[in-house]
Amino acid sequence: MAATSSTVSNTENLMKYMKLDQKGAVLAEYIWIDGTNGVRTKTKTLKNPVKDYTELPEWNFDGSSTGQAPSDNSDVYIRPVAIFPDPFRGGDNILVMTETWDPDGSPNKFNYRHECERLMEANAKHEPWFGLEQEYTILDADGWPYGWPKGGYPAPQGPYYCGVGTGKVFCRDIVEAHYKACLYAGLQISGVNAEVMPSQWEFQIGPCEGISLGDHLWVARYLLYRVAEEFGAKITIEPKPIKGNWNGTGLHTNVSTREMREEKGMKAIEDACKKLGERNEEHILVYGEGNAERMTGEHETASIDKFSYGVADRGASIRIPRQCAQEGKGYFEDRRPASNACPYRITGIIMETIFGGMEGLDLSKAEK
């Protein structure tokens, strides 16, 4: 079922303008994370194409309008950290992932990337790989899942997961468009699938090493929101968008270090699981808002206040894939993060827990 809305962009009319000559100019879409864990952007005109983010200038925005600064000292600075080809504008135009900084030269309160990168650099010898599974739900203009009866519910869960066919999947056009946009942008998107609840989907980012995972996932979220704009749909990453006997949405996090990938790496995996269990409460604090409604011990989740790990157990906090257990090496999947969690906070605290923290850093704080 295609998304329809009276607010959908008139793409056909737009395209004749998108083909106009830019006279050598390049449009750079600066992307940052705001004070509500949302995505904001603004566009800068550049005189020439760029090949690396270090060629780009620092910029600023009104932080009082994004929940990141008071009105009497509202300037927040955005510093480029990565660039990607722009799938909407094409050509030499780019997307620019940025960090937010305060005027005094310190990271903004909501700049979780800076701390994460410090931990990744300090533990680079362990060669951490991450792969995140971003679940989300597509809503109509009224905020109800696409394809669901107005004010009602579809048939119970069962036929929708990885489903094919009318009545089993909805808005595949949005999913396919987003997939292609991610590939064009050079993101490490490794797959997509329909999820257990109808109109619920998932895309996977990774494997990526270190800080790049967070960059790729945030840009993929931005692309998803932008694609949905053109179809007049809404995207929600709320952990429990529909109450009752319906699956929630998560951000399952796959983790592998050099030690885990080596022969007899299962010991490193199990040691990591034990350390993660000792800090369950600290992890839950930064694993997303509203996660208690999702992590009930039902619908393929563990209880939020009880830690467990096991082989092929989707009801555990940590799942070790059966293939990894058989081979004695590989990776583990942390199933606790909610779909709205920040990937920098997830991967950062995992590194902190497994390998130890750094002076002046504490990634377990719910807020700085």
Q: Which residues contact 206 (CB under 8 A, 6 or more apart)?
A: 129, 130, 131, 132, 188, 190, 213, 216, 254
Q: Which residue in 246, 216, 249 sits closest to 343, CA to CA?
A: 216
Q: Summarize pLDDT for 31-58 with one digit per residue, the tens.
A: 999 999 999 999 999 999 999 999 999 9
Is 0.85 topped by the overall pTM? yes
Residue 347 scores a pLDDT above 60: yes
Q: pLDDT confidence of 362, banded at 50, 70, 90?
A: confident
Higher per-residue confidence, 360 vs 308:
308
Q: Summarize pLDDT for 139-171 with one digit per residue, the tens.
A: 998 999 999 999 899 999 999 999 999 999 999
In contact, 206 and 254? CB cutoff 8 Å: yes
Q: pLDDT confidence of 2, banded at 50, 70, 90?
A: low
Q: Which residue in 219, 229, 221, 230 sits closest to 201, CA to CA?
A: 221
User: What pLDDT is stored for residue 365 in this prediction?
Assistant: 62
Burial of 295 (0-12, 13-18, 19+ CB in 10 A): buried
Mean pLDDT of 278-286: 97
Q: pLDDT confidence of 358, banded at 50, 70, 90?
A: confident
3-state DSSP assignment of residue 181? helix
User: What pLDDT is stored for residue 55 in this prediction?
Assistant: 98
**What tokens appear for 107 in the block?**
């990271």
Q: pLDDT confidence of 88, banded at 50, 70, 90?
A: very high
Residue 361 scores a pLDDT above 90: no
Q: Summarize pLDDT for 202-245 with one digit per residue, the tens.
A: 999 999 999 999 999 999 999 999 999 999 999 999 999 999 99
User: What pLDDT is stored for residue 6 in this prediction?
Assistant: 54
User: What pLDDT is stored for residue 10 in this prediction?
Assistant: 78
User: What pLDDT is stored for residue 11 in this prediction?
Assistant: 78
Mean pLDDT of 105-112: 96
As a whole number, the mean pLDDT across the chain is 95
Q: Which residue in 88, 100, 87, 86 sits closest to 49, CA to CA?
A: 86
User: What pLDDT is stored for residue 107 in this prediction?
Assistant: 96
3-state helix, strand, coil in the chain (%, to 5): 30, 25, 45
The residues with which 27 forms a beta bridge, in sequence order, are: 45
User: What pLDDT is stored for residue 5 in this prediction?
Assistant: 53
CA distance 343 to 336: 13
In contact, 331 and 236? CB cutoff 8 Å: no
Mean pLDDT of 276-286: 97
User: What pLDDT is stored for residue 7 in this prediction?
Assistant: 61
User: What pLDDT is stored for residue 13 in this prediction?
Assistant: 87
Mean pLDDT of 340-357: 97
